[in-house]
C-alpha cells in the first residue's frame, strides 16, 4: 500500500502560525487587562457615589427628627439600586438601630465625628456588598450620634465594567483587523521590490555571473551574496573542467598522432625489424601518454576546491619522507642517479593531506631523476625551523636552469629550452598548487656551481593538531 505524499511545508501557514497564535494570546491577555481596568474604574466611580450618598443622608438626617421612620426622600436615596438591592442602617449609639432595611454588618473601624466616610467590603445573605459608614450628629439628641451605613450590591459595577469591555473589544478588534490588512498590503507591496531581481534571473540562460546589483534590497543581500559565492565556485569548477579538457587535448595530441603514424608504418611494412621498431616507439608514446594523463589528473586534484577541514591530518615528516624516498630508489638506480635522504631523528609534524604531499615529493624527485642526468646526486633533506614549521628540500647537482627562467618553473607546460628529456611540464606546477593548498611556500634556488634546489616551507601545525611523536625510521643514503 503506497503511502500518501508528505505535506509540503508552507511559508504562509508558518507565518500565520507565528503571527496569529501570539496575537490571539495577546488579545486574551488584553481582554483580561481591560476588564480589570474597567472594573477598577467602575469601583472607583461607585465608591465615590456611595460616599456621596452617605454624606447626603447625613445632612438629611441632621434636619429630621427620627422616630423610627425615614422621610420618603431619604428612603428613596438609600434603597435605589437599578441592578440590585440597596441596604442601609442608621444606628444610634444610645438607642441602637433607628432605621434600616437589613442587619448590615458594622465596619471594623468606625470613623470619628467629622472624618471621611470609611469604605469596606462585607457580605449579607451570601451576597458580596460594598459599604460605606460615617458618624454624624443627631439633632435634638444632645450627646448622641448616629452611625450611618449604606451598602449596595456589585452587580451594577460588573455590568458597567462589561460594557466598557465590550466597547474595548469591538474597538480593538477593528484596530487589529485594520493593522493586519495594512500589514498584508504592505508586505505584498513591499515584496514587489524583488520583481526586478526575479525578472533578471528569469532572463538568464546559462550565465553564472553575480546576481547582485544596486536594486537588491539590503535584507536579502546575505542571500544574494551566498548565491554569488556559489556561482563563483561553479565558475571555478567549470573553468577547471574546461582547462583540463584543453590541457588533455594539447598534451595528448602529439603522442596520439605519433601512435597513429607508427601503426600505419607497421601495417605498411610488415618487415619484423620495422614492426619491432614501430612497437618500441608505440610503447614509448603510450608511456608518455599515460604519464601525461596521470600528471593532468594530479594537477586537477591539486586545483580542485580545498577540503582541508576534512582531509588534512597531522603528519610526521621525519617518519613519512624517508619512506617516500625509499620507494623511488629503484627508479633512481635505473636512471644512474644517487638518491639519498638527510633529516632529523626526532618527530617533525605538520598538518596536511598525505596523498597530496606524496604527489608533491614524488614530482620533485621525478623532476630531478629526469633532468639531473646520469651520474648526478639528488638529496632530499628535512629541517625544523625555530617557529615550529618544517623545510623540505630536494636538491640535485645537474645542469640546472638559466637564472632568467627560474620564475617560470611553476608554470603549466613550461620546459626549459634545449631539454631533450621527454616530460609534460606539469610536475612543478603540481608542486606549486599542492603547496598553496597547505599554505606552504615554494622557493627555487640555483646552486653555486650548477644544479637546482627546490625548497618547500611548511607552516607550523595548528595547536591541537600535532601528531604524537613516533620512532623515526633510520635514514638511508
Residue 166 confidence class, pLDDT cut points 50, 70, 90: confident
pLDDT (tens digit, 9 = 90+) per residue, 401-426? 888 888 878 776 666 655 555 556 67
| Nearest one of 456, 464, 477, 463 to 357, comparing CA atoms | 456
pLDDT (tens digit, 9 = 90+) per residue, 61-90? 666 554 445 566 665 655 555 445 677 788
pLDDT (tens digit, 9 = 90+) per residue, 4-33? 566 777 666 676 677 778 877 887 888 888
pLDDT (tens digit, 9 = 90+) per residue, 331-352? 888 888 899 999 888 888 888 8
E-state strands within 69-114:
86-92, 96-100
The H or E element that residue 233 is part of is helix 221-268
Q: How far is CA 231 from CA 14, 219, 469, in A?
A: 30, 20, 43
Domains of the chain: 12-162 (3.30.450), 218-302 (1.10.287.130), 312-415+423-458 (3.30.565.10)
pLDDT (tens digit, 9 = 90+) per residue, 205-247? 777 777 777 777 777 777 778 878 888 877 777 776 676 666 6
Three cell numbers written together for 60: 438629611
CA atoms of 341 and 157, how far apart (whole Å): 102
Contacts for 422-425 with beta carbons within 8 Å, 24 or more apart? 422/288, 423/370, 423/371, 424/251, 424/291, 424/292, 424/295, 424/296
Mean pLDDT of 142-152: 82
Enumerate the β-bridge partners of residue 377: 338
Cβ contact 391:344 at 8 Å:
no
With 0-12 / 13-18 / 19 or more C-beta atoms within 10 angstroms meaning exposed / middle / buried, residue 382 is buried
Mean pLDDT of 134-147: 78
Q: What's the pTM value of the predicted model, to 2 decimals? A: 0.45
CA atoms of 472 and 477, how far apart (whole Å): 15
Place of cell 609534524: 349
CA atoms of 198 and 214, how far apart (whole Å): 14
Amino acid at each position: 500500500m503506497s503511502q500518501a505524499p508528505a505535506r509540503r511545508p508552507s511559508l504562509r501557514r508558518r507565518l500565520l502560525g507565528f503571527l496569529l497564535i501570539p496575537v490571539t494570546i495577546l488579545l486574551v491577555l488584553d481582554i483580561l487587562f481591560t476588564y480589570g481596568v474597567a472594573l477598577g474604574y467602575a469601583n472607583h466611580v461607585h465608591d465615590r457615589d456611595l460616599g456621596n450618598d452617605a454624606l447626603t443622608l447625613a445632612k438629611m438626617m441632621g434636619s429630621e427628627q427620627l422616630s423610627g421612620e425615614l422621610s420618603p426622600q431619604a428612603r428613596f436615596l438609600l434603597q435605589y439600586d437599578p441592578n440590585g438591592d440597596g441596604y442601609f442602617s442608621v444606628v444610634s449609639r444610645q438607642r441602637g438601630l433607628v432605621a434600616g432595611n437589613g442587619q448590615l454588618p458594622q465596619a471594623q473601624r468606625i470613623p470619628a465625628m467629622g472624618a471621611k466616610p470609611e469604605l469596606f467590603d462585607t457580605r449579607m445573605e451570601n451576597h458580596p456588598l460594598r459599604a460605606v459608614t460615617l458618624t454624624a450628629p443627631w439633632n435634638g439628641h444632645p450627646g448622641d450620634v448616629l452611625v450611618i451605613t449604606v451598602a449596595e450590591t456589585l452587580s451594577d459595577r460588573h455590568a458597567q465594567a462589561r460594557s466598557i469591555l465590550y466597547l474595548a473589544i469591538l474597538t480593538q478588534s477593528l484596530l487589529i483587523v485594520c493593522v493586519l490588512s495594512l500589514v498584508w498590503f504592505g508586505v505584498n507591496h513591499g515584496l514587489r521590490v524583488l520583481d526586478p531581481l526575479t525578472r533578471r534571473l528569469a532572463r538568464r540562460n546559462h550565465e553564472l555571473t553575480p546576481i547582485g546589483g544596486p536594486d537588491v534590497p539590503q535584507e536579502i543581500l546575505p542571500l544574494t551574496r551566498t548565491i554569488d559565492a556559489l556561482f563563483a565556485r561553479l565558475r571555478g569548477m567549470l573553468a577547471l573542467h574546461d582547462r583540463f579538457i584543453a590541457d588533455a587535448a594539447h598534451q595528448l595530441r602529439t603522442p596520439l598522432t605519433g601512435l597513429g603514424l607508427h601503426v600505419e608504418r607497421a601495417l605498411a611494412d610488415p618487415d619484423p625489424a620495422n614492426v619491432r621498431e614501430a612497437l618500441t616507439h608505440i610503447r614509448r608514446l603510450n608511456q608518455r601518454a599515460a604519464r601525461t594523463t596521470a600528471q593532468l589528473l594530479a594537477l586537477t586534484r591539486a586545483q580542485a576546491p580545498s577540503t582541508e577541514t576534512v582531509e588534512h591530518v597531522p603528519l610526521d615528516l621525519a617518519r613519512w619522507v624517508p619512506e617516500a624516498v625509499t620507494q623511488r630508489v629503484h627508479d633512481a638506480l635505473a636512471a644512474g642517479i644517487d638518491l639519498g635522504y638527510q633529516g632529523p631523528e626526532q618527530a617533525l609534524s605538520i598538518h596536511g593531506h598525505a596523498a597530496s604531499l606524496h604527489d608533491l615529493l614524488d614530482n620533485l624527485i621525478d623532476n630531478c631523476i629526469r633532468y639531473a642526468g646520469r651520474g648526478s646526486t639528488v638529496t632530499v633533506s628535512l629541517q625544523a625551523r625555530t617557529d615550529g614549521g618544517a623545510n623540505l628540500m630536494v636538491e640535485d647537482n645537474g645542469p640546472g636552469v638559466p637564472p632568467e627562467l627560474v620564475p617560470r618553473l611553476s608554470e603549466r607546460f613550461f620546459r626549459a629550452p634545449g631539454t631533450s628529456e621527454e616530460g609534460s611540464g606539469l610536475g612543478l606546477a603540481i608542486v606549486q598548487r599542492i603547496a598553496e593548498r597547505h599554505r606552504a611556500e615554494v622557493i627555487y634556488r640555483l646552486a653555486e656551481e650548477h644544479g637546482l634546489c627546490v625548497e618547500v616551507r611548511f607552516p607550523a601545525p595548528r595547536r591541537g593538531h600535532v601528531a604524537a611523536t613516533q620512532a623515526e625510521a633510520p635514514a638511508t643514503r
